[in-house]
Structure 1
Amino acid sequence: MPPPPPPPPPMHPQGDSWFAPLSIDLVVKVFKTSFFHPFIAWIIPLCFRAQNMFWDAPPMLVSIAWASLISLSWIVIGINNRVAYGRPREVDLSEEVIVITGGASGLGLLIAEVYGMRGATVAVLDIEEMENGEARGVTYYKCDVSDKDQVARVAAEIQKELGTPTVLINNAAIVNGKPLLEQSLAEIEKSLSTNLLSHFYTLKAFLPAMARNERGGTVVTVSSVIGTVGAAQLADYAAAKAGVSALHRSLTAELRQSHPNIRTVLVTPGQLSTPLFYGVNTPNRFFAPVVEPVDVAKEVIAAIDSGKNAHLAMPLYARWIDWYSVLPASLQLLARKLAGVDTAMTTFKGREGMKGDKKVNKKEGGFRIQAF
């Protein structure tokens, strides 16, 4: 009898290394909660004073200047956020009706489960069945969000069965992962309908009732850094995400004038560890770490709970990605080569590829899920 085949090798061998969790984001987070935090900064001159150091001593003056600078920076950031995002709306989870597109798996499912457990009423719209069957407080509606008629029908059902939606999270997305010349027109149309036009369909279906609600509401738009930089084999996806970001900015400007009680949140993550991008190569996990859905979910939930407008970008490079367009063309090309953004999709398998790998490895005695 032949020996059983060996288990499949991990897609990222470096994932088992002790330094794998180390990234620029972790370094920044440590510094932000230590040397760049006002409380810690003011501890240093207090420690010097506890050692009977005079107030005019050079170390004391330097530490006080540093603590003052850090405190001033935090105050300026707070003022900037208040001016940019305005006053928060009141959020009462017992009265919130949250609609999430693409909520049957990944990021959408995480947000749906959290809000369901916290007492909110949650409606999930997805063409696929929910991965875990049922979740407390979550109602599933089978809906292809690329079909405006289905969206309108489900919106009427939600209004009748659950009440007026107060939070809309446009999260649904698909990825073809093919070069443009290899895609059919049908595939391109399906991609643009799901990744871009669906946002218009859901907004037209849910926003009018939300605008009539005195309590207002929140619209969350999930975009991507790919909408800014583009990438090989992602022409359709990048075009849609660029359009989604532009839609968010225009919608925010309109609502600020006509319905100031409605908040908007834009989410622009980097590569997410979800089946949507299964198999994508990650060249540099230090400067461009894969983002875990749970981390994005925590940020989105915190923004909704706060009742404020927000722009959420993660990991660190996603917060500065707009500066990419300012670089000279030669430096942009160099940055693309160093980041490997145009070769990352060569190993792409996607959701269907992951299902196939699960079937194959199940026969071989196990399947090991990696982060992508």
Structure 2
Amino acid sequence: MPTDFIRPPQRDSWFAPLSIDLLVKVLNTTFLHPFVAWIIPLCFRAQNLPWDTPRVLASIAWASFITLCWIGGAINRRVAFGLPREVDLSEEVIVITGGASGLGLLIAEVYGMRGATVAVLDVAEMENGESRGVKYYRCDVSDKDQVARVAREIEKDLGTPTVLINNAAIVLGKRLLDMDMAEIQRSLATNLLSHFYTLKTFLPALARSERGGTIVTMSSVIGHVGAAQLTDYAAAKAGVTALHKSLTAELRESHPQIRTILVTPGQLSTPLFYGVQTPNAFLAPVVEPVDVAKEIIAAVDSGRGGILGMPLYARWIDWFNVLPAGVQVVVRRLSGVDEGMKTFIGRRGAAAARPEKEPTLIRPF
């Protein structure tokens, strides 16, 4: 975990023992799983109940329904995202923007330890320094010339990139009236334009790869619903989501060997949103970076495209905009989505909250 991340003492949702996501996870591995569902009628038969008894028939109907849902889900993924590409970590060159800390650093270190070659692009130094398989490149991804220069260095040093993870982002946390033009330009350049720069720069290399490639786009539920004090961030993330969908449609026709993954998490417990309080720990739990990292890594490893949303409400957030406008206002007030940024401190506040003197680490010789 990043060393400069200190949680606000009032935040406790990350260790909340119960959330709707936990309940759904339990259900998906029990009553909503075909294997378990078919065990129930078998148990009834083991009790010598006839096949035509209501309990047996009901359990068979339930198991059949669950099985059809799982089959339908598999067909849906196949039609939507195609066949998986072949992934060999020893041959993969993974480029991660904003990988010097937080979620990007977790992904970089995991892939480095697993034998992949990782290039981290960031304006800040890597918190833990370069580790096995991970090489750091100082680069401001909002500057297209720096991105082009670093791309040439990566190709020369590490080889042809096969995976691009667009993770770099900044959060200002200010009202539109309180931002100056330079701040707006910097926010949109980092959160939106940088995606265009990296895609234009690295996509030709991914297209040249015989094994194809994978593009991971980090968006946010805020891009779907917006929030007070996040006008710039929400606009950028909405644009990123639209960019992903349009690019996926283009690549499906021109380069079907390239897979795209869209990630739309809720509130992450990273320094980027330090100080923000979740309105409801049960319905909207704060997402741990390690959980998001696991989902992204599993998706990249599988060679498939996909859409990853977490926690549960993030997977259904599109339905929010279908509600009548008045209902949306009521939901916003009840959820507190427009109140969360009032306690925002941000990455700089997190760094300032660190003790001035770090404890000495004693390592064995």
Q: What TM-score does the superposition give when structure 2 sets the normalisation length?
A: 0.94
Instruction: Please give the secondary structure, in 2, of the residue aligned with 1:10.
Output: coil
Give the counterpart letter for 2:132 in structure 1: R
Instruction: Please give the secondary structure, in 1, of the residue aligned with 2:135.
Output: strand
Instruction: Please give the secondary structure, in 1, of the residue aligned with 2:354.
Output: helix
Q: How far, CA to CA, are the matches of 2:8 and 2:297 in structure 1? A: 35
The structure 1 residue matched to 2:155, chosen from 139, 159, 176, is: 159
Q: How far, CA to CA, are the matches of 2:261 and 2:8 in structure 1? A: 39
Q: Which residues of 2 match residues 216-231 of structure 1 at below 5 A?
A: 216-231=212-227
Q: How far, CA to CA, are the matches of 2:170 and 2:34 in structure 1? A: 43
- Look up the match of 2:25: 29
Aligned pair in 2 of structure 1 residues 13, 262: CA closer, same or farther (>3 Å)? closer
- Look up the match of 1:192: 188
> Are 1:352 and 2:344 counterparts?
no
Q: How far, CA to CA, are the matches of 1:145 and 1:306 in structure 2? A: 28
Q: How far, CA to CA, are the matches of 2:209 and 2:109 in structure 1? A: 25
Q: Deviations over 1:309-343 (max 9, x none)?
A: 10000000000000011000111011111110100
- Look up the match of 1:10: 9
> Are 1:63 and 2:59 counterparts?
yes
Q: How far, CA to CA, are the matches of 1:12 and 1:295 in structure 2? A: 18
Q: How far, CA to CA, are the matches of 1:169 and 1:231 in structure 2? A: 25
Q: Which residues of 2 match residues 3-152 of structure 1 at below 5 A?
A: 10-12=9-11, 20-152=16-148
State the Cα distance separating 1:9 from its structure 2 match: 8.0
- Look up the match of 2:320: 324
Q: How far, CA to CA, are the matches of 2:77 and 2:180 in structure 1? A: 44
Give the counterpart letter for 2:67 in structure 1: S
Q: How far, CA to CA, are the matches of 2:144 and 2:159 in structure 1? A: 20
Give the counterpart letter for 1:135 in structure 2: S
- Look up the match of 1:4: none
- Look up the match of 1:238: 234
Aligned pair in 2 of structure 1 residues 67, 151: CA closer, same or farther (>3 Å)? same
Give the counterpart letter for 1:95 in structure 2: E
Q: How far, CA to CA, are the matches of 1:13 and 1:158 in structure 2? A: 41
> Are 1:269 and 2:268 counterparts?
no
Give the counterpart letter for 2:229 in structure 1: Q
State the Cα distance separating 1:210 from its structure 2 match: 1.3
State the Cα distance separating 1:214 from its structure 2 match: 1.8
Instruction: Tell me the C-alpha RMSD between the 2 structures.
Output: 1.5
The structure 1 residue matched to 2:256, chosen from 257, 260, 268, is: 260
Q: How far, CA to CA, are the matches of 2:186 and 2:258 in structure 1? A: 30
Q: Deviations over 1:119-169 (max 9, x none)?
A: 000000000111111221100001111111110100000010000000000
Q: How far, CA to CA, are the matches of 2:338 and 2:162 in structure 1? A: 39
State the Cα distance separating 1:70 from its structure 2 match: 0.6
Give the counterpart letter for 2:11 in structure 1: H
- Look up the match of 1:370: none
Q: How far, CA to CA, are the matches of 1:77 and 1:222 in structure 2? A: 24
Q: How far, CA to CA, are the matches of 1:11 and 1:56 in structure 2? A: 57
Structure 1 spans left out of the alignment, 5+ residues: 1-7, 366-372
Give the counterpart letter for 2:9 in structure 1: P
Q: Deviations over 1:220-246 (max 9, x none)?
A: 000000000000000000000000000
Q: How far, CA to CA, are the matches of 1:181 and 1:281 in structure 2? A: 23
- Look up the match of 1:300: 296
Structure 2 spans left out of the alignment, 5+ residues: 1-6, 360-365
Q: How far, CA to CA, are the matches of 1:57 and 1:202 in structure 2? A: 62
- The answer on whether the counterparts of 2:13 and 2:285 sit within 8 Å (CA) in structure 1 is no
Q: How far, CA to CA, are the matches of 2:136 and 2:350 in structure 1? A: 24
Q: How far, CA to CA, are the matches of 1:14 and 1:251 in structure 2? A: 36
State the Cα distance separating 1:13 from its structure 2 match: 5.6
Give the counterpart letter for 1:308 in structure 2: R
Q: How far, CA to CA, are the matches of 2:138 and 2:50 in structure 1? A: 71
Instruction: Please give the secondary structure, in 1, of the residue aligned with 2:108.
Output: helix
Q: What TM-score does the superposition give when structure 1 sets the normalisation length?
A: 0.93
State the Cα distance separating 1:75 from its structure 2 match: 0.6
Q: How far, CA to CA, are the matches of 2:353 and 2:69 in structure 1? A: 49
Aligned pair in 2 of structure 1 residues 119, 13: CA closer, same or farther (>3 Å)? closer
Percentage of identical aligned residues: 75
> Are 1:182 and 2:181 counterparts?
no
Aligned pair in 2 of structure 1 residues 82, 14: CA closer, same or farther (>3 Å)? closer
